[in-house]
Amino acid sequence: MAGPKTLDQFDIKGRSALVTGAASGIGLAYAECMAEAGARVTLTDIDAEGAEREAKRLVDEGYEARWDVCDVSQLDQVAAAFDNHVAAYGGCDIAFANAGLDVGGGFWTPEGDRNPEGQIDVYDPQRWYKSIGINLTGVFHTVREAARVMKAHERNDHRRGGSIVITSSNAAEVNEAIVGVPYMAAKAGVKHFMRHAAYELAAYGIRVNAIAPGPFVTNIGDGWVKKNPAAKKAWDELVPVGRMAETHQIKPLALLLASDAGSYMTGAHVMIDGGMQLGPIKPI
């Protein structure tokens, strides 16, 4: 048989990973996944307490983890987080540009009512600026700094390249009116920015891919899905597979893209959405 065995290609022992928005939800699942698979991981978040709490929990469980405070909308904070990671771990093999949020103002409320604040002609521009600043510009900042550090591998040590994984959304592809117009615009921007970054960085051995989740149970949108069982049930019934996803379900895909198992994948926008892109089971 030629080439490495299948499971060996998922091995990331000895590598290091930085995750943005790692204190909660999907980012926390990425951080756990990296640690469980043997990598050293930095959990960064605007929520310093949350990042510290989760990194300490991972360390208590026997993994190698550290934390840093980092608002992805601020380039200097993102650059510092990568510099601190490199100082601690000697490079950065894997970066997850994950931090994001829903600023509210969706066309529909979670309960399915028309939202008076969510219509374009009255939409609060401050919400737009905030969403774009974190969901789109924050991804640019993170990919920029990851590329800077990963390109330096070539000059400074034996490693070459790396893997960058961006959290996009099914809202990049379909009109998900519950999240509001800047979120959809940001995620569609993320998708195309990812494609260019993948094209440009391929020559340096740096792969760039995006994971596009459908509805996952997290704290996004002030955790409405956890606080409101009726709204959660209504959403479960919209998804073709019959339920919203739990965050552990994203880990195998994260490891595929982060590891050598995904060595021929770059520029991919991978949906993990229980079939939502095929259309909701009932009209929203």
Minimum distance from residue 252 beta carbon to ligand NAD (Å): 17
- Which of the residues 196 through 225 are near ligand NAD (CB under 6 A)? 213, 215-216, 218-220
For ligand NAD, which is the closer residue by CB, 89 or 96?
A: 96
Nearest Cα residue to 97 out of 129, 139, 136: 139
Which residues lie across from 258 on neighbouring strands? none
Question: What gap in Å lies between CA 256 and CA 10, rounded to an integer?
Answer: 7
Q: How far is the CB of 46 from ligand NAD (least distance, A)?
A: 4
What stretch of H or E contains 20?
A: strand 16-20
Catalytic residue among 183, 199, 204, 264: 183
Q: Does 25 bind ligand NAD (CB under 6 A)?
A: yes
7: nearest Cα among 202, 199, 205, 255: 255
- When the beta carbons of 21 and 153 are compared against ligand NAD, the nearer one is 21
Give the residue with the Cβ less far from ligand NAD, 32 or 47.
47
**183 catalytic, yes or no?**
yes
Residue 50, interface with ligand NAD (CB under 6 A)? yes
Least distance between ligand NAD and beta carbon 178 (Å) = 10
Partners of 37 in the beta sheet? Answer: none
Closer residue to ligand NAD in complex, CB, 150/210: 210
Residue type, 182: P
When asked if residue 26 is in the footprint of ligand NAD (CB under 6 A), the reply is yes
The helices-and-strands tally (H runs, E runs) of the chain is 9, 7
Q: Which stretch binds ligand NAD (CB under 6 A): 65-73, 79-87, 144-152, 153-161?
A: 65-73
Binding ligand NAD by CB under 6 A: which of 16, 24, 209, 259? 24
Contacting ligand NAD (CB under 6 A), which of 134, 174, 201, 239? 134
Burial of 228 (0-12, 13-18, 19+ CB in 10 A): middle
Among residues 154, 144, 151, which one has the least CA distance to residue 77?
A: 144
Q: Which is nearer to ligand NAD, 152 or 185 (CB)?
A: 185
Stretch that binds ligand NAD, among 53-61, 66-74, 116-124, 157-165 (CB under 6 A): 66-74
Sheet of strand 16-20, all strands in order from the earlier edge strand to the far edge: 65-69, 40-45, 16-20, 94-97, 162-167, 206-213, 269-272
* Of 39, 43, 46, 238, the one binding ligand NAD by CB under 6 A: 46
Q: Is 142 in the site for ligand NAD (CB under 6 A)?
A: no
Count of residues interacting with ligand NAD (CB under 6 A): 29
Distance CA 11, CA 30 (A): 15
Helices (H), the chain: 25-36, 48-60, 75-89, 125-131, 137-156, 181-201, 220-227, 229-236, 251-258
* Site for ligand NAD, rule CB under 6 A: 20-21, 23-27, 45-47, 50, 70-73, 98-101, 134, 138, 167, 169, 213, 215-216, 218-220
Mind telling me the catalytic residues?
A: 183
